[in-house]
Amino acid sequence: MRTFDGFIVALSEGLTAMRDLTPTSAAYREKEREMGRHCYEAEEHLPKTELRLLRGTLGISESKWRGYKIAFINKNKSNDI
């Protein structure tokens, strides 16, 4: 999945799944963390121009992108405790 197309698919599937979930549910929070992991991986493997295109294509704002990453970080921190 380390390609632009792979990230489009993974993130699109995550966004679609999240639309069907209640934002307060555990399943939603888990999907949000998964999205955060994909965001970090995309940042690691794609050039900045492709990242901007990825976010724009999917309609993910910079603040929402950061929110997914924060959800991923917070889950990993709570696992370390």
- Local confidence band at 75 (pLDDT 50, 70, 90 cut-offs): confident
**Which H or E run contains 34?**
helix 26-45
Indicate if the alpha-carbon torsion angle 20, 25, 29, 30 is positive or negative. negative
> What is the predicted pLDDT for the residue at 81?
46
Statement: residue 80 has pLDDT above 80: no
pLDDT in tens, 9-22: 999 999 999 999 99
Radius of gyration of the chain (CA): 12
Q: What is the pLDDT of residues 29-67, one digit of tens each?
A: 999 999 999 999 999 999 999 999 999 999 999 999 999
Domain map of the chain by residue range? Answer: 4-80
